[in-house]
Each structure stands twice: as C-alpha cells, then as structure tokens.
A and B are shown apart, each in its own frame.
Chain A
Amino acid sequence: MFAYYLDLALRSFRRNKALTALMVLAIALGIGASMTTLTVFHVLSGDPIPQKSDKLFFVQMDPAGKDGYTPGEEPADQLTRFDAETLLRQRRGVHQAMMTGGSAGIEPQRAGMDPFYADARFTSADFFQMFDAPFQFGNGWSANEDEKHERVAVISKDLSQKLFGGANSVGKSIRINQHDFRIVGVLAAWRPTPKFYDMYNDRFGELEQVFVPFSTSRDLDMDRSGSMDCWDNKEDSDDPEGETGLNAPCTWIQYWVQLDTPAQAEAYHQYLVNYSDQQRASGRFERPTNVRLRDVMAWLDFNKIVPGDVRLQLWLAFGFLLVCLLNTVGLLLAKFLRRSSEIGVRRALGASRRAIFTQCLVEAGAIGLVGGVLGLGLALLGLWAVRQQPSSYNALAHLDVPMLVATFVIAIVASLLAGILPAWRACQVAPAIQLKSQ
C-alpha cells in the first residue's frame, strides 16, 4: 500500500512541479537554517568531559572586603592565591588543582627558529589525572615537585611537534622565560570544548601549549592572563609580588576539586563553609559565609557558556522554520483540496478516510524527505560559512552523526506535522458532492 501511495505522490509532484518545488525549497531553507544554528549550539553547549563532569566541582567563596557588598549576591568567581594554596595543602578532595592561565616565552634550541610566546597554564600536580588528560609520552608531575618548585613542564603535542619534530621529548630540556625546564610529559591531541576549567581566557580556544607548576611560575614571575579582581588599595601592601602575591587581596585562581560521591560533595561543601567561617573569625574575610560548589555543567551554565549571538541565531532560525512550515501547510492544503474530485472518486470506490489520510501524509513526508536532503546540503554550506568567521568557536562547527540524524528527523516530523491539517481536510471531502459536480 505504501508503495502505491508513494507512486500517487510522485504523480502528484509531476503534475504540479512549481508548487512541489516551492514546498521542498521552503522546507530545505528552514531546515538548513535551523540545522546550521542548532549544530553550532550543540557544539558549544556540549559536555567537555562527559565521563566525570558530575564529579568535578569548581570552588567559590567570598573573600572580598565589605565595601560594595550587596546581600544575596554571588560570591567572587575565583579564589585568592592564599585560599587556593591553603585548600590545596589540606587536600580534602579525591583530587584537586589550583590554576591560572598565562603565557611563556619560549626560545627554541633549533637553528633558524625565532623565540615565540605560547599560551601556558600554571597549575598543580592533580590537573592531569583529575581532567583525564591523555598523554602521548611520559606523565604529569607529582605534588612533591610542586612543593619543591621544580622546573618541570608538560607540553602539548603541537609544541612537541614544533620543537622536537614529534619525537619523544620526555627528559629533554625546554627554555622557558630564560630558564631551563625538564619536560616530563607530552600530551596527546586533546581539546576540551568548551575549555571548562578556565572561563577567563578564550573559552573555546585550543589547549595551552605549556603546563608548569604554579609554584615555579611564581618564582619566575611568569605573565598570567585572565581576569583578576582586587579590592584593597595596593598601598597597604609591601609585597614585592604585588597583585599576584600570596596575601594580595585579589581573586585570580581557578580551583577545581574531584568528589566521587554526593556524600563527599556534601562533606566538602561543609568543609568550605567551616573554612570560610574560620577565615571570618580570624578577620580575613569580612562578608558573610557564601560558598558555591558547582559541577562542570552547572558552572558552564552559570557562565552562560553559549554566546548570546548564537542563542539569538537559534531562535531566529526556528522562527524562520516555523514560517516555512506554515507556508507548507498552506500550499499542501491548496494542493490536496485542488484534487477534491480525485479524492471523491477514490472514496466512492471504497477507499476509507484513513486511507486518504495516510496517502496525503505519505505525500507530505516525501516532500519532507527531499527537503531534508536539500536542507542537509544547505546546512553543510551554512556550517562552512560559519567556519569562515573569526571567533575560535566557529572553527568547531562540524556536523556529527547525532546532528545528521536530527536533521532528517526534524525535516520529516516537521513536514508530517505540516501535512496533518491538510490531510485531515482532504479526508473530510464528501464523495457525493464531488461526483455530482463532475
């Protein structure tokens, strides 16, 4: 029966080529626009570390002075260096790491290569294990090396390729900020998207090229990057390290902790509350205790990780799809009712209403399928156009298998929905009147 309906649909398409083309085109445009924006949205709102995103937590507390305090407001985004180092020392999580973004001046020891600047991350030992960072060669460093301020570095695959031609460079030396560092590990290709652990540099950027112990980075006063909030006047401080000093009243450190069970998370939250209370009792904190422990997805959500423009485009595209569908409903209605007499004959010959309804839906679905294929082509074209745009996230816009399936599902479901009303009207046609008016 299905084959017969399909045959009828094809005949009908041939009879009304312009109208059919119009419907297919409208659906294709709508699907193309929606899938382009939906894919970008899908890429940007994805889980960067699905295997443990519910076990990794970002720590926040409120160490700022009482000036400018508004009750009920969110605590500071990042931690002070003092708090981060204290929490790290007390090791209450399964894993924990403090970190900040920065940069490193690298002097290649290869002839003919100029010195260059590379993005760096200053962090502590657990970073690699906690975030499941994949290693090509070697490993991360240990807490012991953090404490000893050792000059060790983990480098990215790209940097290893650039400096050592991709050979195993573990044990070799790399010159960073005019000091020799020993390479202990080379990461394999890795690009967490978004780069969830740091919201204060390029959120969709590539992986840092150099990782060095935070303690070492402070010894060498390496350039940090990202946001920093300070609240006291700097005149009170006699710390030669200034705003990055241990006791500076500035928040600029991201602190992540791994907690495997809800009970652990609960206990850790309580620990943070106690810590904050203690700090206030000792006079360091001036604001009421206000701590947050957000897991990866909650943290990304809090930071509105999907850019406003992308969300706006998504709404726009779906609005457009809706108009295209309304258009299709209208045209299908015209098309089916124009065939009232044919339907009348089929009904008189014994076709049930259900049969007419199904036949109309098959026709609508076929239009959806063709529109979907064409829409997929438009979406690929649209994504190509998106990738030509400058922001770093645009380069990530590729169609994956779930999105491919989604394209066809959306196209067919949309066209079937568009077909329901016209099909229902068509199967209401009274055979007697149609036959009489012949």
Chain B
Amino acid sequence: MELRPILTTLRRHKTASALIVLEIALSCAIICNALFLISGRIDRLGRISGLAENELVRVQLTGIGKDDNDVALTTSDLAALRGLPGVRDAIVTNQVPFVNSSWNSSVNMTKDQQQPTLSATTYMADEHFLDTFGLKLIAGRNFTSDELVDWATFNAPNSKVSLPSVIITKSMADKLFPGQQAVGKSFYSWGDDPMRVVGVVEHLVRPSDQGGDVGHEYSAILPIRAPYTVGGNYVLRVTDPARRDEVLKAAVDALKRNGPNRIILADNTMTVQTLRAKYYQQDRAMVWLLVAVCVALLVVTALGIVGLASFWVQQRTKQIGVRRALGATRGQILRYFQTENFLLATLGIVLGMMMAYGINQLLMGKYELPRLPAIYLPVGAIALWLLGQVSVLGPARRAAAVPPAVATRSV
C-alpha cells in the first residue's frame, strides 16, 4: 500500500486531521487514567478483611447517660447472646471493621523513640475474639483468660497495670520485624511497658481508611475485657448464614430484655456483609461513573471519526471514481481509508500517551495516586486503534462502492 498519496491528502486537510488526532489523543489520555483509577477502586473493593464476613452480625447499643453497672451487664449480655439458638460465639468489642472510625495508637520499637514506627488500630478483645471474627492464627497462640485485663482497672487514674500480650496481623509483623519470627518479640504502644507478641493472624482489616493503602492491615488485638459502654459493639457469629436476620432480631430482643434502659442504634445494627457493602458504596459508584465516562468518550470519539470520514468520502467522490476508472479495486479504496485512519489514530495515540503520563503526574501530585503502570498504555492504544478501524469501516465501504462511472460525470 502506497503511503505517499495518503500523506499528501492529509497534508491538504491539516485542520480536520489535527482535530481527529487531538480528539483521539484526549480520549486516550483520559481513558488510560480512568482505567487506572478503576483498577485502584476495584482493588479496594476486593480487600480481604480476614473476617468470616457472611457469618457475622453486629448490634450496636449505648446506655443513656452513665451506667455504673456496665461490667456486670456486659457479662450477662454475652451469656444471653452466646445462649441464643444459631449462635456459634459472641463478643463485645470497641470497634468493628467497615465503619469509618477507628481506635489508633502509635507503635514504637524502643521506649524513648522520637518518631513512631507506625500507627496501628487497636481492637480490645477477650479469648473469644479470634473464633468469633473467624480470624486465622498463623503463628503463636490465642489469649488465655488469665492474661485478660479489665478495662476499668487498666483505665483507672494512676493505674500501673500493663498489658502482658498482644496479637498482631501478618502485615504489621512483617513491617515491625522484617524477616523475623514476630512471636516472642515486643514493642511499645499502650502504656509504658513493652507488649509481647503472642500470636500473629493472617488478616484483620483496620476499620477506617486512616493509614492509607499501606497501613490498612496494621491491626493489633489487645487482651482487654471492655464493657459494652466502650464502643458498644456486640458481634455474633452464626452457625448458618441463611439465618442471620433471624439471629440479629433475636439478639436485639435479648439485649433489650437484659438491660432495658439502653438504646439500640438501629442504623448501625446489621449483618457485617451489609456493613461492608455500605462502606464501599462510594467506591462502587465511582467505578460505575468512570466506566460510564470511558464508554461515553469512546462513543463520542467514534461518532466524530464517522462524521469526518463520511465528509471526506463525499468530498473525494470524484477522485475515488477516477482511481476506480484507472483500475483501482474496491479493496484498494477500502484499504486507503483504513490506512488513513490507522495513521491518524497512531498519531493520536502517541500524543495521547504523553498526555496520559502528564495527567498521571498531575494526579500523583494532587491525589497521592501511584504512577500509572505501563500496561495501561498498550491497552489504551489497542482500544483506540480498534475503535478507529470500526468507525471508519462504514464510510470506507461507502467509498469503495463508488462506481468508476462517476469519473466521467461532472458532479
């Protein structure tokens, strides 16, 4: 295929060619970045929490004013909940995943460290915690009931009680003790005394987004027996996920019966699966929005190509007729327009890659996004090449259908 005549023609239609190139370039740049944003959101949506999510329900309640009887009430609450039919285990904890607030504490390796090593979220839990949440212990052991500290004792003015042990996530263990066995090692976080790692769990997500992507699994579990007035989260693990709603209702009733002067926070009382769905709703909406923008961009660009190509075909009808009369086949005419489009698309894609990179640089500065991985560039390129070829097909076929006799007519 001769490129010369195509280039000559394009040179005579500089403005229109430039417009198409620019449109393709912009679309390419936006689509590359949008795809990258989408993949980031999808990664978030797929985050592993470590929990047996579809077996858990959460009830949140709170007292009205001060409750001096909270410790005893918590004990009887738990007994009542654990005795419900269909309940495998139940706990009370200061925080649960998939709500946008978390308890966080800085972690130091030495007592007088100036800048903390990292910030970890802290779950307060008894020995039922691992089983209830469904966490997988990959090293060490669970808490024993004799190492649990009462919240009131720990939190009392001038208390000198220290925490004997802590369970952390693998992600946090790898950060604190890279390449070493974490069990048996210590760090400083709550109180003046070191806390010894007794166990490592595979996954446990931080409830909020504090700490960003890197820190989303920096979680520590402390052996503290807290009353329901600290966070007010009762989490129940059911034996049969299909009966979750039933158990949830029974749990609410049981809690109401056990201590009537309390308020169940209905908006926060639901299955953990629903909590998760709500937590990521914004991200899911953003993914659909970005997909819609990409599709709209592709459609608009395709229509633009169709429009301009049709115009060119119409304008060059006579020229095409002459070529056909001089012996050019339909295939040659078809390929002429396809090649022309390929050249324009290539130019647009090259320009678009540079713009994509530029936009990414801008986003990196403004939104702390990572660098655009190179894989998005060929993906965007192939998409636009295909788009160009598909759009030009119609007008090109119309061009190929021009009969040679046109050459003999004066328009």
Chain A positions within 8 Å of B, measured between CB atoms, are 19, 22, 26, 29, 33, 67-68, 103, 105, 107, 114-117, 177-179, 220-223, 233-235, 237-240, 242, 308-309, 311-313, 316-317, 319-320, 322-324, 326-327, 329-331, 333-335, 337-338, 389-391, 421, 425, 437
Contacts and interface: CB of A to CB of B under 8 A. Distances in A.
Contacts of B390: none
B64 interface: yes
Contacts of B366: 311
A296 B115 CA distance: 32
Contacts of A237: 157-158
B282 A242 contact: no
A20 B296 CA distance: 18
B155 interface: yes
Interface string B283-314: 00110011001001100110110011011001
Contacts of A33: 293, 296
B347 interface: no
B263 interface: yes
> Which of the listed residues B19, B286, B293 has the most CB atoms from chain A within 10 Å of its own CB?
B19
B192 interface: yes
A240 B192 contact: no
Contacts of A26: 300, 303-304
Contacts of B296: 29, 33, 320
A239 B157 contact: yes
A234 B285 CA distance: 42
Question: Chain A interface secondary structure, helix, strand, loop or mixed?
Answer: helix
A15 B203 CA distance: 66
B275 interface: no
Nearest to B105: A230
A323 B158 contact: no
Give 10 nearest A-B pairs by CB, closest first: A177-B65, A105-B64, A334-B311, A327-B304, A178-B65, A330-B19, A238-B157, A326-B23, A238-B158, A331-B307
Interface string B303-336: 1100110110011000000000000000000000
Interface in B149-173: 155, 157-160
A218 to B, nearest CB: 13
Question: Chain B interface secondary structure, helix, strand, loop or mixed?
Answer: helix
A330 B20 contact: yes
Interface of B: 15-16, 19-20, 22-23, 26-27, 30, 34, 37, 62-66, 114-116, 155, 157-160, 191-192, 261, 263, 265, 278, 281-282, 285-286, 289-290, 293, 296-297, 300-301, 303-304, 307-308, 310-311, 314-315, 363, 366-367, 411
A331 B281 CA distance: 39
Contacts of B155: 234, 242
A389 to B, nearest CB: 6
A333 B30 contact: no
9 contacts: A26-B303, A105-B62, A105-B64, A221-B66, A238-B158, A316-B34, A323-B23, A326-B22, A327-B301
Contact of B116 (A68, A242, A320, A391): A68
Contacts of B192: 233, 235
Contacts of B19: 326, 329-330, 333
> Which of the listed residues B34, B62, B307, B363 has the most CB atoms from chain A within 10 Å of its own CB?
B307
Nearest to B27: A323
B304 A105 contact: no
A338 B282 contact: no
Contacts of B65: 105, 177-179, 220, 222
Contacts of B64: 105, 107, 115, 177-178
B300 A323 contact: yes
A234 B155 CA distance: 8
B301 A323 contact: yes
Contact of A326 (B63, B160, B304): B304
Contacts of B311: 334-335, 337-338
